[in-house]
Chains A and B, each alone.
Chain A
Amino acid sequence: QKEVEQNSGPLSVPEGAIASLNCTYSDRGSQSFFWYRQYSGKSPELIMSIYSNGDKEDGRFTAQLNKASQYVSLLIRDSQPSDSATYLCAVNPSGAGSYQLTFGKGTKLSVIP
């Protein structure tokens, strides 16, 4: 069973701080990794993708990937109350023609004003 694990939280950070969200995955052959943000009652929205080891930055968001450790993280700098949401880590598992994603259960982030 290919699995993606996340701490469920809630993770509480003060406004302006850095929020760090972590994810581990079991399928060593995975090649594509994604972070989705989901506000309460809404559907998941893609915010970051990463395919290579290292860091990828987009505005206040940085995704980090370490394939050797099977570890993906998302850093949110200068956290804002509007960042309060559940963040889902998703992995495209190895396998021929796979358009499927394996999702973690999500980490709930609360940014305190």
Chain B
Amino acid sequence: DVKVTQSSRYLVKRTGEKVFLECVQDMDHENMFWYRQDPGLGLRLIYFSYDVKMKEKGDIPEGYSVSREKKERFSLILESASTNQTSMYLCATWTSLGFADTQYFGPGTRLTVL
């Protein structure tokens, strides 16, 4: 069974705080992704990683950074949280172990920045 876990389901932070969102997958796959999802805007790719210590910017990387020190773990960092980063954050990994070769998602983190 495909398993992707995220560190928190709900998170409330203050403007200016540094925020860490963690994602862990047990699929042993190189590719991991961070998206944010907002009403009317759909899923937007923030960053992805194709191997340990490797990362690529997605469509909306501004205000975010990422870390991939181990294959199974991909962290999203908000260096100085702002109210416009209030969103649902979704981590995904690619795997061939589900019923199709595609991306599988974690449960998501609903982040509110006050």
Interface size, A (range): 20 to 34
User: Smallest CB-CB separation from A34: which chain B residue?
Assistant: B102
- Residue from the list B33, B41, B102, B110 in contact with A46, Cβ < 8 A: B102
A100 contacts chain B at the CB level, 8 A cutoff: yes
Within 8 A of B (CB), among A63-113: 88, 90, 92, 99-101, 103-106
Question: How near does chain B come to A94, taking the closest CB pair, in angstroms?
Answer: 15
User: Smallest CB-CB separation from B110: which chain A residue?
Assistant: A41
Please state if A103 and B43 are interface contacts (CB–CB under 8 Å): yes
A42 contacts chain B at the CB level, 8 A cutoff: yes
Chain A residues with CB under 8 Å of B94's CB are 99
User: Smallest CB-CB separation from B44: which chain A residue?
Assistant: A103
A42-B108, A43-B90, A43-B106 known; A104 vs B42 contact (CB < 8 Å)? yes
A32 contacts chain B at the CB level, 8 A cutoff: yes
User: Smallest CB-CB separation from A104: which chain B residue?
Assistant: B42
Please state if A100 and B48 are interface contacts (CB–CB under 8 Å): yes
Q: Please list the residues of chain A having a beta carbon within 8 angstroms of any beta carbon in chain B.
A: 8, 32, 34, 41-46, 49, 88, 90, 92, 99-101, 103-106
B15 contacts chain A at the CB level, 8 A cutoff: no
Please state if A43 and B100 are interface contacts (CB–CB under 8 Å): no
Known: A42-B107, A46-B99. 15 other contacts (CB 8 A): A41-B110, A42-B108, A43-B106, A43-B107, A43-B108, A44-B43, A49-B100, A49-B102, A88-B43, A92-B102, A99-B31, A99-B50, A100-B45, A103-B42, A105-B40
Question: How near does chain A come to B3, taking the closest CB pair, in angstroms?
Answer: 13
**What separation, in Å, do the CA atoms of A92 and B100 have in the docked complex?**
12
User: Smallest CB-CB separation from B105: which chain A residue?
Assistant: A43
User: Smallest CB-CB separation from A97: which chain B residue?
Assistant: B50
Please state if B105 and A44 are interface contacts (CB–CB under 8 Å): yes
Please state if B106 and A49 are interface contacts (CB–CB under 8 Å): no
> What mask results when residues 84 to 114 of chain B are scored 1 for a CB within 8 Å of chain A, else 0?
0000001000100011111111111010000
